[in-house]
């Protein structure tokens, strides 16, 4: 079988957000594989370690720099990578068409993808890719097992945690708590340098963005930052309660 | 027509349904606001929906007892096509965001996801939404005859119910077979005020020290304030608190009038779930904790001492 992990390269969560030329400025900033996607890469590796006879392929769409993120996945242990190069930003619905076409060409059985991307704040890529393939999808997976062609596990829904069972093929979205992604070892980093990153261009996939970005602004709600010293706990508590009641008027 | 899918749980219509109606009425597109109710045993939900929409379509079917993204998306796409809907509004809850992308693909429509505003401008739909872990506001535009919009809970005011009830119609659906078998459910009803709807939230992190410490300090302070309880991912992963209380990127997004972050360092993943709160209060022993950058008020000190002092002060 073949497992695809879809990844994106995003601004490191610890970096401050800056805007230049009406978009979030990524020049010279620390960019990483989206942590939500990293759980998918790790889970693919674990499924194989637990016995699945699977080839693992990592896929990314984006500018040349996303190869760093693909290399990181290869260094974790994924077998090979596919990079569809484009400098044009696409929304999740448009990108899902590329992902579905790749999944078909690769005859994939299982697709893993982050539950929410840290740049788009979107949860749509996994679901939209599943729809294009006419596959079922499970979002926000927190536990997963594969027995033959049957997936069982637990995932988060609106009102709690649900246990599920389904047959491959399927799309699963991943999140924190599913596993602890491994750090690449030096031998694996060396090995990964010889692994294939197959390059393609977006033109081959015939997609156009469905959503246009008009304007981007960093949120700048100024906080008052009235911070008290709590060495004298009762005094600090009294002052805080007074401020919240009389000044902010947010509590009774 | 403008089609909206009525969110409901446990036989009751959700607050988000009223917000979807407001979003639909303010969007600036022609046609009636049609509410679609999907589920099993949903007569009461449909009756309430009839007070806020212009017409209600009901599919009350045993097959729809349990949410499934494939069934829901098939039903919504079918009704949208039959009614030639220009706009389809879906609540951007976790389940809503799981099936709305499938609706968009089925209709070959753009998806405006998790929006906080949406307005027609010369035929294009212009919306605002948050991105980059809720640190950026982006304005996006979709030019299409049909657009799917998922609406962030809490972003729109609730519509006022009318005295007259709109007409209800049963609809026939061609549903696909269910492929995901739900083998169990762990519901987490804490019996407290709902986190996403609370005016005041008291949230705790690892700084609470232990499960008992959390109960005594965080829940104790919440009880004193009549507030909902929130928790960080670390606390939920450690099994101290149920998942339903988790606030942040992988949990709930809240925007109460007051948010108390107690023993919470302020990782971006947590902050992205609460930084829209009107007033943020931070209590942490580390003066350099990032949470103080987001705080309107704060106390640097040991939560084990500060919180009991706060509870005592509030009791006075």
In this complex, do A251 and B200 lie within 8 Å of one another by their Cβ atoms? yes
DSSP state of B239: T
Best interface-test mutation with B: which of A212, A213, A218, A232 has the largest number of B CBs within 10 A?
Answer: A212
- Is pLDDT above 80 for B178? yes
Do the Cβ atoms of A231 and B301 come closer than 8 Å?
yes
* A169 cis-preceded (ω within 30 degrees of 0): yes
CA nearest B236: which of A160, A172, A113? Answer: A160
A2-205 has which fold? Rossmann fold (3.40.50)
pLDDT category of residue B191 using cuts at 50, 70 and 90: low
pLDDT in tens, A98-127: 999 999 999 999 999 999 998 999 999 999
- Residues of chain A with pLDDT > 90, as a percent, come to 88
pTM: 0.90
pLDDT in tens, A214-236: 999 998 778 999 999 999 999 99
- The whole-angstrom separation of Cα A158 and Cα A143 is 17
Do the Cβ atoms of B243 and A160 come closer than 8 Å?
yes
> Helix, strand or coil for residue A150?
strand
Q: Are strands B124-131 and A110-114 parallel, antiparallel or unpaired?
A: unpaired
Domain boundaries, chain A: 2-205, 222-252
ipTM value greater than 0.90:
yes
Residue of B nearest to A177 (CA): B237
- Is pLDDT above 70 for B189? no
B195-315 has which fold? Rossmann fold (3.40.50)
pLDDT in tens, B232-251: 999 998 999 987 899 998 88
CA nearest A33: which of A2, A56, A62? Answer: A62
- The whole-angstrom separation of Cα A156 and Cα B65 is 18
Do the Cβ atoms of A37 and A142 come closer than 8 Å?
no
pLDDT in tens, B45-100: 999 999 999 999 999 999 999 999 999 999 999 999 999 999 999 999 999 999 99
Which whole-number Å values give the CA distances from B27 to B1, B84, B88, B123, B224, in the listed order? 12, 17, 11, 11, 41
pLDDT in tens, B9-54: 989 999 999 999 999 999 999 999 999 999 999 999 999 999 999 9
Residue of A nearest to B292 (CA): A225
Domain B2-170 shares a fold with domain B195-315: yes
Residue of A nearest to B110 (CA): A210
In this complex, do B233 and A93 lie within 8 Å of one another by their Cβ atoms? no
Do the Cβ atoms of B102 and A128 come closer than 8 Å?
yes
CATH architecture entry for B2-170:
3-Layer(aba) Sandwich (3.40)
pLDDT in tens, B208-220: 999 999 999 999 9
Domain boundaries, chain B: 2-170, 195-315
In this complex, do A123 and B97 lie within 8 Å of one another by their Cβ atoms? yes
Do the Cβ atoms of B268 and B232 come closer than 8 Å?
no
Backbone phi and psi for residue A200, each to the nearest 5 degrees, phi listed first: -135, 170
> Helix, strand or coil for residue A102?
helix
Q: How far is A62 from chain B (nearest CA, A)?
A: 17
């Amino acid at each position: 079988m073949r497992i695809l992990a879809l990844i994106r390269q995003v601004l490191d969560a610890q970096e401050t957000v800056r805007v230049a030329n009406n978009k979030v400025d990524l020049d010279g900033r620390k960019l990483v594989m989206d942590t939500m996607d990293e759980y998918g890469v790790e889970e693919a590796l674990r499924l194989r370690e637990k016995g699945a006879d699977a080839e693992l392929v990592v896929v990314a769409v984006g500018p040349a720099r996303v190869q760093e993120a693909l290399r990181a996945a290869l260094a974790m242990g994924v077998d090979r990578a596919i990079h569809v190069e484009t400098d044009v930003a696409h929304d999740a619905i448009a990108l899902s068409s590329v992902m579905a076409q790749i999944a078909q060409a690769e005859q994939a059985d299982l697709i893993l993808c982050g539950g929410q991307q840290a740049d788009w704040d979107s949860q749509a890529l996994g679901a939209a890719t599943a729809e294009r393939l006419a596959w079922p999808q499970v979002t926000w997976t927190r536990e997963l097992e594969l027995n033959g062609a049957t997936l069982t596990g637990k995932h988060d829904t609106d009102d709690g945690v649900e246990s599920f069972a389904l047959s491959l093929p399927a799309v699963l979205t991943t999140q924190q708590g599913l596993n602890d992604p491994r750090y690449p070892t030096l031998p694996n980093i060396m090995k990964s340098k010889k692994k294939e990153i197959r390059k393609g261009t977006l033109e081959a996939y015939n997609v156009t963005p469905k959503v246009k970005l008009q304007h981007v602004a960093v949120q700048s709600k100024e906080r008052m930052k009235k911070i008290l010293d709590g060495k004298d706990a009762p005094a600090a508590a009294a002052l805080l309660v007074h401020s919240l009641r009389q000044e902010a008027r947010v509590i009774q | 027509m403008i089609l909206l899918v009525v969110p409901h749980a446990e036989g009751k219509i959700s607050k988000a349904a009223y917000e979807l109606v407001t979003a639909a009425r303010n969007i600036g597109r022609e046609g009636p606001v049609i509410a679609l109710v999907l589920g099993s045993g949903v007569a009461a939900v449909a009756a309430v929906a009839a007070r806020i929409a212009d017409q209600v379509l009901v599919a009350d079917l045993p097959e729809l007892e349990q949410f499934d993204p494939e069934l829901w998306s098939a039903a919504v796409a079918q009704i949208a096509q039959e009614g030639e809907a220009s706009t389809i509004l879906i609540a951007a809850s976790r389940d809503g965001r799981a099936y709305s992308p499938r609706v968009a693909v089925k209709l070959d429509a753009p998806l405006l996801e998790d929006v906080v505003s949406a307005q027609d401008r010369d035929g294009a739909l212009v919306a605002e939404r948050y991105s980059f872990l809720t640190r950026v506001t982006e304005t996006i535009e979709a030019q299409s005859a049909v657009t799917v919009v998922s609406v962030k809970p809490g972003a729109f005011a609730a519509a006022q119910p009318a005295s007259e009830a709109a007409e209800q119609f049963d609809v026939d659906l061609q549903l696909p077979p269910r492929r995901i078998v739900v083998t169990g459910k762990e519901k987490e009803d804490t019996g407290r005020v709902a986190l996403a709807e609370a005016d005041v939230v008291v949230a705790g992190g690892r700084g609470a020290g232990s499960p008992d410490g959390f109960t005594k300090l965080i829940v104790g302070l919440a009880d004193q304030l009549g507030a909902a309880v929130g928790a960080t991912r670390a606390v939920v992963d450690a099994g101290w608190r149920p998942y339903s209380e988790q606030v942040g990127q992988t949990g709930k997004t809240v925007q109460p009038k007051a948010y108390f972050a107690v023993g919470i360092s302020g990782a971006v993943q947590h902050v992205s779930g609460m930084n829209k709160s009107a007033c943020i209060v931070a209590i942490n022993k580390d003066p350099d904790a990032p949470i103080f950058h987001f705080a309107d008020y704060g106390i640097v000190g040991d939560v084990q001492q500060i919180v009991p002092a706060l509870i005592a002060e509030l009791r006075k």
